Structure 1
Amino acid sequence: MLNKLRDQTVFKHNWLLSLVVSVGVWQFAVPVMGQMLLPYTPQLNAEELKQQGLEVAEEAAQLIRFQQHELALSRAKLATQLAPNEYQPWFILGTLYIIKQELEPGVNALEKALALQPEEVGIKFTLGNAYFQQGKYQQAATELEEGLKIKPDVPSAQFDLGNAYFKLGRMGEAIAVYQKAIDQQEDFWPAVNNIGLIKYEQGNIKEAIQHWEKALDIDPEQAEPLLALGVALYVQGQQQKGFELAESALQLDSSYGELQHLKDNLWGEKLLKDTQTFFTTPKMQSVFSQLDGASSTITGNEQQTRDR
């Protein structure tokens, strides 16, 4: 499992509009009728530009809260132009790019923000997550470790660090930091789930099962621990129970029927191999066929609705 701001914008200043109007005046030939009064264009100094940039950045942050990401992006870009030496616009811009899964420009913006404000933990945590998504696991771990030294009790950052350690093969450290996240937030089921993934790879299926059962005690409607538990019980000889759990998991989220999706969610080689064998059983092939049929029926109904 991987972990992977409302629109109340008020334009307090109209100086940009004044500039546009001013430019527009000179686009046309105007008869001379005495002294013409031109629109007032304020002369903004660097400090005023910076303040404008920070205000625009705040507007972008508000739009993020409303999930108005495209509108927020244009404002964040403007904010970095108005206040290029302030970290907040770059932080907001980088965060937006990461949300949009545009990792390279997101990382570039976050690195600029961090250069301007090296001790800002929010940047370090966000950058660590972005590095992880890029597959730069050691860089991810470094940023997350540094952030947690400054602010140690952040479960989501501890979870991300655990994932980085997982990818680096530092399994004992991964379990320790996942446990810290759970100690901070008892219902943090993804951390519980991932300890189960490690235990399975270590050959301790019994403890893996206990962790997946605990994750489901926290949230019974999570497909990942349901499927993992189903596979583990099947391997342990409880085949019927395993099939039932797996079918429930795939009904909740059919993407867990794809091995690549499982690999992306940190399932290790041993669990993937057992899952692949499990998926090839006649019973699971029947489950997949039923899911495919249900999907086709839904798609057909949607098409009929659109055709009406």
Structure 2
Amino acid sequence: MLPIFALLSLLTLPAPVFGQALVPYTVQLNSEKLEEQGLNLAQDAVQLVRFQQSQLALPRAQLATQLAPKRYETWFILGSLYVQNEELDKGIQALQQARSLDRKEAGILFTLGSAYFQKRDYTTAISNLQEGLKLKPDVPEALFDLGNSYYMLKQYAPALTAYEKAVAQEKNFWPAINNIGLLKYEQGDIAGAIEKWRIAIGLDKEAAEPQLAAAVAFYTKGEKDKGIAMGESAIRLDNRYADLQFLKENLWGERLLADTKKFLENPKIQAAIAQSQNSPSRIESSP
């Protein structure tokens, strides 16, 4: 693209005066070629994101929207990058532009739902996710986000329905099973919560969250040694889960947080936390 922009800049220079002998040559830009170049840049941006190079991806995505402004794909990718970088207002604006260009792309609505969830506008998140699910009803991640949005509004019945639909679409989707456990615990069903967390642990033995949640539940119901052993294991896997604020950000409810606070004050758990802070921790990547 550099030769094109260099040529365009030359066109702004004043032309020499030769009477009427010469007619300035006008460059005819091929709009289809520019659009194709824009889509290629957008694809480059996607590849860079896959290699965790989002800072390099963003300027390419921005340029892509200039070269192909009438293609929803460029705005969709740009909006998604902004949301990933937590520039939520810019992301929503770009995604709404993508939405104006294609009303049938469910992914745009799912990403809008995620953006509004991060802004804690759970009602608008639900609206976008539901609209997207009307177009594409079998996406477990979107159903999971829908469940989370209802959960944050303490609308537990529709949250449970959404989580169960997500698991029905993908039976090994342990985050949804884990969050059913969170929901059940808030409702006072400790046994039901433990059952879900055991299933989640069976699906991913490296997942610290369901291990710590189950540890707290066992400890609270009187099985202290079992709870402490599980808790020590969970903290060794990922010591972020020893932080109450981090747990709150991961949708742990008031009842579970209160019990976790007591659990984390146990001297053996305090020792496990101190030890984990002095040694490298395996940080899991949450879906």
Instruction: Please tell me whether the aligned partners of residues 236 and 272 of structure 2 are also in contact (alpha carbons under 8 angstroms).
Output: no
Match of 2:217 in 1: 232
Aligned partners of 1:112 and 1:55: how far apart in 2? 19
Letter matched to residue 80 of structure 1: T
Is residue 176 from structure 1 mapped to residue 158 from structure 2 by the alignment? no
Q: Report the secondary structure of 2:251's partner residue.
A: coil
In structure 2, the CA distance between the partners of 1:212 and 1:272, relative to structure 1 (3 Å rule), is same
Match of 2:232 in 1: 247
Match of 1:200 in 2: 185
Aligned partners of 2:215 and 2:50: how far apart in 1? 38
Aligned partners of 1:136 and 1:71: how far apart in 2? 30
Shift of 1:282: 2.1
Instruction: Please tell me whether the aligned partners of residues 174 and 200 of structure 2 are also in contact (alpha carbons under 8 angstroms).
Output: yes
Match of 1:106 in 2: 91
Shift of 1:255: 0.6
Q: Give the unaligned 5+ runs of structure 2.
A: 14-23, 281-287
Shift of 1:42: 4.0
How many residues are paired up? 273
Q: 2:176 aligns with which of 175, 188, 191?
A: 191
In structure 2, the CA distance between the partners of 1:22 and 1:226, relative to structure 1 (3 Å rule), is closer
Q: 1:129 aligns with which of 103, 111, 114?
A: 114
Is residue 265 from structure 1 mapped to residue 253 from structure 2 by the alignment? no
In structure 2, the CA distance between the partners of 1:158 and 1:120, relative to structure 1 (3 Å rule), is same
Is residue 210 from structure 1 mapped to residue 195 from structure 2 by the alignment? yes
In structure 2, the CA distance between the partners of 1:86 and 1:281, relative to structure 1 (3 Å rule), is same
Which string of whole-angstrom CA distances, capped at 9 and with x for unpartnered residues, describes residues 56-78 of structure 1?
32332333333332232111111
Instruction: Please tell me whether the aligned partners of residues 196 and 209 of structure 1 are also in contact (alpha carbons under 8 angstroms).
Output: yes
Aligned partners of 1:269 and 1:23: how far apart in 2? 61
Letter matched to residue 17 of structure 1: P
Shift of 1:104: 2.0
Moved more, 51-60 or 189-198: 51-60
Moved more, 51-60 or 152-161: 51-60
Which string of whole-angstrom CA distances, capped at 9 and with x for unpartnered residues, describes residues 13-34 of structure 1?
x5x414415747999xxxxxxx
Shift of 1:124: 0.6
Is residue 20 from structure 1 mapped to residue 20 from structure 2 by the alignment? no
Q: Report the secondary structure of 1:288's partner residue.
A: helix
Is residue 78 from structure 1 mapped to residue 51 from structure 2 by the alignment? no
Match of 2:285 in 1: none
Aligned partners of 1:282 and 1:62: how far apart in 2? 47
Q: 2:102 aligns with which of 97, 113, 117?
A: 117
Moved more, 98-107 or 64-73: 64-73
Q: 1:54 aligns with which of 22, 31, 39?
A: 39
Letter matched to residue 228 of structure 1: A
Shift of 1:191: 0.5
Q: TM-score if structure 1 supplies the norm length? A: 0.82
Letter matched to residue 6 of structure 2: V
Is residue 278 from structure 1 mapped to residue 260 from structure 2 by the alignment? no
Q: Report the secondary structure of 2:206's partner residue.
A: coil
Aligned partners of 1:19 and 1:288: how far apart in 2? 57
Moved more, 73-82 or 145-154: 73-82
Aligned partners of 1:220 and 1:61: how far apart in 2? 31
Shift of 1:83: 2.3
Match of 1:90 in 2: 75
Aligned partners of 1:126 and 1:107: how far apart in 2? 9
Which has the bigger relative contact order, CA under 8 A and spacing at least 6? 1
Match of 2:134 in 1: 149
Instruction: Please tell me whether the aligned partners of residues 19 and 41 of structure 1 are also in contact (alpha carbons under 8 angstroms).
Output: no
Shift of 1:169: 1.3
Aligned partners of 2:12 and 2:113: how far apart in 1? 50
Instruction: Please tell me whether the aligned partners of residues 18 and 41 of structure 1 are also in contact (alpha carbons under 8 angstroms).
Output: no
Root-mean-square deviation (Å): 2.5
Instruction: Please tell me whether the aligned partners of residues 22 and 41 of structure 1 are also in contact (alpha carbons under 8 angstroms).
Output: no
